[in-house]
């Protein structure tokens, strides 16, 4: 049986033959979907970077997606998009709005948004949302398996409250993230054996907000897009990577980060 300690001394980025060139990438051509409250496409940090915006709408008891020009009423999606754009400025961002419209914001719209993103085969899907409702466990599990099989890399924020949320507690078919106090956007951690494996900056993060402004925000929601940004950099240089390989690469890079920290302290 492989133990946690074996993984702590596991393969480095060099062992995986992962070249350092991803650090100079910009996410060029990588398609990223943000399933959230929409994106303010007029924000100076995001202008020209959002290639598509769609919005959930209930049509005869079914949820469908129409082109959207309603932007973002809450600011949350804009903040997530801004973090990704800062790390990977040439990424093609797509907004899938499932929060903010009257009558929506429940788990069904969230699931429909994720399904839409998988059907469209986005390379990376940012889920800074989740649900704690047990009735969504099974459908979300199926959707995450479909995403994995379709080659979509789903990155989910952990619940900020002391209860499991779905899909962040699933293990193999997605990458889940919790906030750290780290400030360097590329200095993330990987903790094999924990329910939520990745840590990334999520405390007092300066992000774009509605009306062209900025906010300093705290929450796992803002750690998640940091990892999405890093994955976009990796995929620009290695577009053939599978979700499994991307997770291994993140693990290897996190090990390098950890080693660098230890050396810095020494």
Partner 1 sequence: MTNLNGHDLPAKLQRLIETVDIANILTEPLTQSLAKMLELSAAELNSEEASVLIRDGDEGDLRFLSAIGKVAEQLINIKIPAGKGIAGFVLSSGQPMAVSDVGEESSFYSEVDKRTGYSTQMILATPLSHGGEVIGVLEYINRRGTPPFEPFTPDEMDRAAAFAEAIAALVNAYESAKLFRDLGEKVLADDSTNDITEVREWLHGLRDSAAHREMMDLAVLIRDVASRGEAERVICKDLLESIVRYSDSKSETSYLTL
Q: Which residues are catalytic?
A: 36, 76, 221
Residue 105 touching partner 1 (CB under 8 A): yes
Which residue, chain included where needed, has tokens 């990155």?
155
Name which of 67 and 103 has its Cβ closer to partner 1.
103
Is the Cβ–Cβ distance between 160 and 190 less than 8 Å?
no
CA atoms within 13 A on the CB side of 53: 21
Name which of 91 and 128 has its Cβ closer to partner 1.
128
Window of 3-11, 87-95, 96-104, 142-150 that interacts with partner 1 by CB under 8 A? 96-104
Which of the residues 13 through 32 are near partner 1 (CB under 8 A)? none
Residues in the chain: 266
Name which of 79 and 231 has its Cβ closer to partner 1.
79
Is the Cβ–Cβ distance between 229 and 87 less than 8 Å?
yes
Name which of 75 and 167 has its Cβ closer to partner 1.
75
Rounded Cα distance, 134 and 246, in Å = 29
- Token pair in block for residue 154: 């789903």
- Token pair in block for residue 253: 């890079």
Taking alpha carbons only, the member of 164, 213, 171 closest to residue 44 is 213
- Kindly tell me which residue out of 44, 48, 67, 103 binds partner 1, with binding defined by CB under 8 A: 103
Residue 37 touching partner 1 (CB under 8 A): yes
> One symbol per residue from 142 to 181: x for binding partner 1 (CB under 8 A), - otherwise; what is it?
---------------x-xxxx----------------x-x
> One symbol per residue from 54 to 73: x for binding partner 1 (CB under 8 A), - otherwise; what is it?
-------------------x
Q: What are residue 96's DSSP bridge partners?
A: 35, 54
Residue 133 touching partner 1 (CB under 8 A): yes
For 243, the 3-state DSSP assignment is helix
* Nearest approach, Cβ of residue 97 and partner 1 (Å): 11
Rounded Cα distance, 3 and 168, in Å = 22
Which chain residues interact with partner 1 by CB under 8 A?
Answer: 37, 73-76, 99-105, 129-134, 157, 159-162, 179, 181, 203-204, 209-221
């Amino acid at each position: 049986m492989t133990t946690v300690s074996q993984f702590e001394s596991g393969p480095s980025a060099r062992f995986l033959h992962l070249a350092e060139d991803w650090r100079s990438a910009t996410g060029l051509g990588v398609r990223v979907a943000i399933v959230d409250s929409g994106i303010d496409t007029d924000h100076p940090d995001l202008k020209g970077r959002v290639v598509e915006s769609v919005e959930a709408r209930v049509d005869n008891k079914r949820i469908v997606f129409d082109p959207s020009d309603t932007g973002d009423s809450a600011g949350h999606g804009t903040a997530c998009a801004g973090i990704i754009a800062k790390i990977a400025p040439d990424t093609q961002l797509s907004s899938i709005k499932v929060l903010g419209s009257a009558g929506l914001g429940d788990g069904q719209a969230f699931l429909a948004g994720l399904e839409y993103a998988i059907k469209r085969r986005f390379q990376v899907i940012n889920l800074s949302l989740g649900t704690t409702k047990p009735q969504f466990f099974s459908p979300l599990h199926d959707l995450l398996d479909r995403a994995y099989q379709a080659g979509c890399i789903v990155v989910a924020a952990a619940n900020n409250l002391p209860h499991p949320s779905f899909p962040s507690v699933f293990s193999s078919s997605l990458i889940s993230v919790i906030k750290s106090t780290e400030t360097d956007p590329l200095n993330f951690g990987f903790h094999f054996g924990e329910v939520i494996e990745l840590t990334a900056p999520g405390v007092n993060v300066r992000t774009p907000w509605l009306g062209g402004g900025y906010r300093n925000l705290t929450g796992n929601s803002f750690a998640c897009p940091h990892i999405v940004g890093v994955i976009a950099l990796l995929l620009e240089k290695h577009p053939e990577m599978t979700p499994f390989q991307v997770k291994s690469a993140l693990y290897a890079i996190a090990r390098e980060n950890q080693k660098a920290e230890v050396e810095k302290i020494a």
